[in-house]
Each structure stands twice: as C-alpha cells, then as structure tokens.
Amino acid sequence: MTQTEPAWWTTSVVYQVYPRSFADSDGDGIGDLAGITGRLDYLHELGIDVLWLSPIYPSPQDDNGYDISDYQDVDPLFGTLTDLDELIAQAHERGIKVVMDLVVNHTSDEHPWFVESRSSVDSPKRDWYWWRPARPGTTPGEPGAEPTNWGSFFSGPAWEHDEASGEYYLHLFSRKQPDLNWENPEVRQAIHQMMRWWLDRGVDGFRMDVINMISKELPLRDGVVPTAEGDGVVPAGSVHGDGGPYYLCGPRIHEFLAEMHAEVVAGHADTLLTVGEMPGVTVEEAQLFTDPERHEVDMVFQFEHVGVDHGAGKWDVVPLRLTALKESLGRWQEGLAKAGWNSLYWNNHDQPRVVSRFGDDGEHRVRSAKLLGTVLHLHRGTPYVYQGEELGMTNAPFATHEDFRDIESVNHYRSAVELGADPQHVLAGLRRMGRDNARTPMQWDASPNAGFTAGTPWIGVNPNHVEVNAEAAVADPDSVFHHYRRLIELRRTEPAVAHGDFTMLLEDDPVVYAFLRRLGDVELLTVANFSGDPVRPAVPRYDEWLGAELLLGNVADSSGPELAPWEARVHRRTVTG
Ligand code: TEU
C-alpha cells in the first residue's frame, strides 16, 4: 500500500452475521435470510461497510452449514436464492457489500461429488477426495488401522472407514466433512467455476474457511502425539497425532491461492474483498499471503491472539496475560506494516464472547466492551465486528452439557468423559471456550425470545437479553452500540486510524495497553486500562497528551492523569518534525 491508492477495504469495517442466530422471519426458531434483510437498517445505522454471511448453502447442518452439500443454492432453512438476491440488492442499496463464506477445504459427505467418489474405487471422482487403504498389517475398521494417526478437530480420528470399499477417507473436521483433494486439477477448476458463478450473481468477495489447510504434504504420514499425560481436560489416553505440520500452509498453498486469484478474482480485484481463515498461520507466512504484489488474498484471519489464554489445548483455559496479548498483536502490526494487511477481530462464531473473555462481563460490562472495541479498532487493519459484539453480548450461562449444540463441544464432552475426565471439569472448559457462546440468538429486545424468533429458538437465548439488547442500546447514546458506531465513523474521518504507522508502548506493563498511530503530522495515542482498579499510565510525557484533543473515551468527563477502571481514551495531536 505504498505508492498506489489504498484499497477500499483499508477504511472499511466488516460485520459478520451467523444467519442461524441472527433473526428468524418465519418462526421456525432458526434465523434466515429474510430476517437479515429486515435488519439491514440497523446495520446501516451502525455504519458498517461489508456484511460477511456465514454459510447459507444447502447442508445437512452437521457443523451448522460448514458442511455443504450444494455450493450453488440456499438451504431451505434460510430461504431461497431469490431471498439471497433480495438481501444482496437491499444491502447494496445501503452501500453495504456482501461477502460469502467459501468452504472448500471439505464438502459435506452428502455433496454429490462425495456421493459419487464414494460409490466405487473406479469412480471418476474417486480422486477428488483423500482415499487411502488401512495401515499395512492392520485390520481395516479396527482402532489404529487408520492410514495416519491424525486426530480430527472434532475429536476422534481424522479418517473414516468406508465399509463398502474397505478404504478410509480423510476428514480434518467431522466425518460428515470429507476433505477435498486439491492436488486434482479438476477439483480446483470446479471450485473456480463455482466462485465465478457467485461473482456473476453480485457477491463482493469471499471469506475462505480454513483455506490454509487445502495443500497436504505428500506422502501423508503420522504426526507427533502431543502429550502422554493429558492436559487436565483431555486425560491421558488420547492416541491421536498432530497432522498440522503436514496440512497447515502445505507445500502448494501459495500456488493454489495465486491460481484461484488469477482464475477468479483478477479483473474484479478492485471491488472485491478476500480474506483467508488460517489457523496456525505465522506472521512470516501472512506477509506472503497478503503482499498485494503476490495476488493471493487481501488479508488473513490469524489465531495467535485468540490463543493467548489457551493452556495445553483450547479447553485448558489460563488467565489472560496482557503482555502476551500485546506482544502478539504488536508483532503482527509490525510484520505487516510494509506490505500486506491485518484483519482485526476479537470475536466470530467460533470464539467465546470477548467481554467475558478479556473484559469484565459483570460490573464493568459496558465500559470494558467499549474499551475492547476501542483497542481493536485503533490498530492498523480491517476490523471485524461479530453480531452482538456491538451490544457487549456475553457468554451464556450453559447449565448442563445438554445445553450445548455445537458438534465440537458435544463430541469433546463425550470423548473426554469416556476417557475418564471429570464431567464438571470438562463442562467448565466448555462454558469458557465453547463456540455456542457466540451462537446464542442475537438480542434484539427484552421480549421473551429477545425478538429473535416467534417460535422456539434452536439454542437457548441468554437471559441477560432483558438488559443487553439492541433496542435499549440504540436508544441510549452512551451504549456500546453507539461507541462502536463512533469507532466505525472515526476510521473514515481520521485517516491516521486507517493508514497511520503503529508503535506499541509500555510492552511490559501488565494492565495498560497503549500505542501510537502516526500519519504525517497527526499522532494518535490510545491508552486503555485492562483492570478494575484505577491506574496512572506510565506513557512517556503523558501530561502533554492530557492537554491534547480527546477523540474518544468511555468515561464521561474524565481528564486527569489517572485512568478509571476499564477506561480507554484516544487522544489526537498535531506534531512537527
Ligand atoms: O474453523 C476453523 C478452526 O480451525 C477453528 O476455529 C474451529 O472452529 C475449532 O474451534 C477448532 O477448535 C472453521 C469455521 O470457522 C468453523 O465454524 C468450522 O467448524 C470449521 O472451519 C470447519 O469448517
């Protein structure tokens, strides 16, 4: 982004909708497209530029739509293609672009491609997926006979035995999500064609699900079994190896993404947004993926900063160390400063609610939600807001394991308990980290189902919707909603927010998050107190900043040298030299 005009998405904010949980127009308890269309004015008022829709395609819903059985249609649960056209048209009328989820590491096992692939070892589509015989010297179907020892993300082995042919197919996620074989050029061409079809229909880009997993290193081989002792939540006895080194950013990943760009995106590049979801991606790899000269993707979702509270695995939650969070985000800011671009997010449909995770969802809920928004949006990159984040929605009070719906949580509970873990201990991990925290219905108002549905919601509504809801937030000028609205506006009105250089301050401070942005002679200071106690920030010459303009804050009439609990401020000044 040096000499040329900065891309449009550098000044944009993306809003993610998880359609199943956003707004239900027909009373079946599941959100739908017409429900989203009915809420576009709300999103317009918030001021977002882009809407990213989690999958709405036909799907058996084993992983809530991330298991797709037809890439070119809409699941009747969510409506019809006509409803989608209407949503896109109405969004465009309000100046909102629409980005689709693209899930092409795997399909559903009910996708016709897989049905055909499975039908016979001689099927012309056999090689579209990863079929392998049992490990030599073993009996197919017996535990340990899997072609490699890889574990799946959703518990159990990453291979499923197919009785009919005696072979196994690879599924990094659920057994209903077989991995596509990207080595086969026909697979790639079919996907490119499908993507072009969506662009012709008027969509404005793609969020690419686990796209750094599409290239596997050959030959497939065993991974290291991480721990013999267990990690406190998954006890000893877990036999699966980590295949990550062989499928995360594999040998042909850059080639595949460059090819996809050339085949699909080139020619529309100035108007589209592409973002690759990339678990395990390093900043060095991300530089390559997002360098505009390389024509791969515009930005990536990295996972480091949402791993800082993971102990031995995601279910083993450790307290946040703010210094670790700053070290990580600061390194990403620096790493993508010259070429490439960051995406900025706290939340999505896979992460627990940030105000419960890194803030204070009790006494200081509103203030800490504003602080978290401020810190994120003042970084350099494109911010993503996940539905309800702009209300300060919190984790849900799941009482028993039966309250969970997500396949990851349900399988994890079952397999950990089978291996002998204490059910209460497993539940405690699910409550903190379970993906369903993000998936409880959007809280529109204080009515019994939060205005989400007239029927029975597919997952429990958070009882705090009587207080935390959009209707109340829109009516209250001091709400989290209006704070987010101001942050989104600031990105457009203050060029240093989008384009300024970034310098982290106070790296070793355990409670204060502080950084500078600088563009030309404009300098911004963001300073935030990540604690429930007042603090005097050790920012060099802070007294000089106190006289500078306060662009944004989350505590009324605050001006002294001390930050109140969970206070965040953004100062602006003009400097010379
Ligand atoms: O998620 C990819 C991923 O690796 C994790 O974020 C995942 O959610 C899990 O928590 C690992 O512990 C993407 C989608 O965002 C997710 O919803 C899907 O379940 C997954 O891919 C498979 O399509």
478-490: per-residue pLDDT in tens? 999 999 999 999 9
Q: Is the CB of 314 under 6 A from ligand 1?
A: yes
Please check the confidence at residue 225 and state whether its pLDDT lies above 50: yes
Please check the confidence at residue 223 and state whether its pLDDT lies above 80: yes
| 170: nearest Cα among 209, 221, 211 | 221
Please check the confidence at residue 500 and state whether its pLDDT lies above 90: yes
How many angstroms separate the alpha carbon of residue 187 from the centre of ligand 1? Answer: 22
Q: Is the CB of 63 under 6 A from ligand 1?
A: yes
Q: Is the CB of 103 under 6 A from ligand 1?
A: yes
Residues paired with 552 in a beta bridge: 570
Q: What is the pLDDT of residue 1?
A: 43
| Mean pLDDT along residues 552-572 | 96
Please check the confidence at residue 32 and state whether its pLDDT lies above 50: yes
Report, as residue numbers or ranges, the catalytic residues.
209, 277
Q: What is the pLDDT of residue 5?
A: 86
Q: What tens digit of pLDDT does each residue of 7-28 get?
A: 999 999 999 999 999 999 999 9
How many angstroms separate the alpha carbon of residue 63 from the centre of ligand 1? Answer: 9
How many angstroms separate the alpha carbon of residue 353 from the centre of ligand 1? Answer: 16
Lowest mean pLDDT among 192-196, 230-234, 306-310, 448-452: 230-234
pLDDT tier for residue 2 given thresholds of 50, 70 and 90: very low
Q: What tens digit of pLDDT does each residue of 89-111 get?
A: 999 999 999 999 999 999 999 99
Q: What is the pLDDT of residue 577?
A: 64
Q: Is the CB of 345 under 6 A from ligand 1?
A: no
Report the amino acid identity of residue 128: W
Alpha helix stretches (DSSP H) within 17-146: 33-37, 40-46, 81-93, 112-119
Nearest residue (by CA) to ligand 1, atom 12, is 153
State the closest ligand 1 atom to the C-alpha of 435, by its place in the atom list counted from 1: 10
Alpha helix stretches (DSSP H) within 120-266: 185-201, 244-247, 253-260
State the closest ligand 1 atom to the C-alpha of 348, by its place in the atom list counted from 1: 15
In three-state secondary structure terms, 294 is helix
Report the amino acid identity of residue 200: D
- By most ligand atoms within 8 Å of CB, the mutation choice from 18, 210, 406 for ligand 1 is 210
How many angstroms separate the alpha carbon of residue 154 from the centre of ligand 1? Answer: 9
- By most ligand atoms within 8 Å of CB, the mutation choice from 53, 150, 153 for ligand 1 is 153
pLDDT tier for residue 226 given thresholds of 50, 70 and 90: confident
Please check the confidence at residue 447 and state whether its pLDDT lies above 50: yes
| Mean pLDDT along residues 160-184 | 98
Tokens of 372: 């978290």
| Mean pLDDT along residues 196-214 | 98
Q: What is the pLDDT of residue 269?
A: 86
* CB of 368 closer than 8 Å to CB of 359: yes
Please check the confidence at residue 281 and state whether its pLDDT lies above 50: yes
Q: Is the CB of 156 under 6 A from ligand 1?
A: no
How many angstroms separate the alpha carbon of residue 279 from the centre of ligand 1? Answer: 9
Neighbours of 508 (CB within 10 A): 9
> Considering the chain, what percentage of its residues have pLDDT values greater than 70?
97
Q: How far apart are the first and last CA of the chain?
A: 23
Please check the confidence at residue 143 and state whether its pLDDT lies above 60: yes
- Give, as one character, the DSSP assignment of residue 65: T
In this prediction the pTM is 0.97
| Mean pLDDT along residues 367-390 | 99
How many angstroms separate the alpha carbon of residue 524 from the centre of ligand 1? Answer: 35
| Mean pLDDT along residues 76-85 | 98
Q: Is the CB of 173 under 6 A from ligand 1?
A: yes
pLDDT tier for residue 236 given thresholds of 50, 70 and 90: low
Please check the confidence at residue 230 and state whether its pLDDT lies above 70: no
| Mean pLDDT along residues 454-464 | 98
Average pLDDT taken over every residue of the chain: 96
Q: What is the pLDDT of residue 312?
A: 85
Please check the confidence at residue 510 and state whether its pLDDT lies above 90: yes
| Mean pLDDT along residues 388-394 | 99
Q: What is the dihedral of CA 36, 41, 47, 51, to 10 degrees?
A: 20
Residues paired with 510 in a beta bridge: none
Q: Measured at the alpha carbon of residue 463, what is the angle toward residues 458 and 469, in degrees to the nearest 5?
A: 95
Q: Is the CB of 209 under 6 A from ligand 1?
A: yes
